[in-house]
Amino acid sequence: YVKKINPATNKHFPEYNWVWSPQGVINMHYPERWSMVQFSNIPQSQVKETFQLPTEEKFAKYLWLLHYKQRLFRTEFGVYSPTIARLQLPDSGIEDGVTFQLELKTDVRKYEAILTTQNGMEISINQEGLFKVLSY
């Protein structure tokens, strides 16, 4: 493979990454940004409901944003942020009428962020991007 040169500029053409669903970044190494596929034995012509994003995925976006901001913070300061406020994020919010709280546990080398909803669901993410459903 040789990357093509634009004869008008004598520079490489920009990347053209076609994907079936936009990721928001030109980088396939972000699986959390990939779209979801739902499989079913029911023929599409007989399906009466539309795809519903799993509840934990609706809240996951808040944890992934915190994760990206923690990575940037560590690059700049050499440690993870000890508070959510220093990441310029709110520590609570509402999604589809369900309120939630964010909690951050951190030290120099690691962190864990936990999102808890008003109805008791808990999900977390850590410095490695490990996303977990703790309780449903």
Nearest to 66 by CA among 46, 85, 53: 85
* Whole-number Å distance between alpha carbons of 29 and 32: 9
* Tokens (6 digits) for 80: 């993870």
Chain segment 80-114, per-residue pLDDT in tens: 999 999 999 999 999 999 999 999 999 889 999 99
> CA distances (Å), 69 to each of 31, 39, 48, 66, 98, in order?
17, 33, 40, 5, 24
Sheet of 92-95: strand order equals: 92-95, 98-106, 111-117, 122-126, 131-135
pLDDT score at 90: 96
Chain segment 60-74, per-residue pLDDT in tens: 999 999 999 999 999
- Give the mean model confidence (pLDDT) for residues 109-134: 96
The DSSP symbol for 87 reads: G
- Give the mean model confidence (pLDDT) for residues 6-16: 89
- How does DSSP assign 1-66, residue by residue? --PPEETTTTEEPPP----SS--SSS-TT-GGGSPP----SS-GGG--S-----HHHHHHHHHHHH
pLDDT score at 23: 77
pTM: 0.78
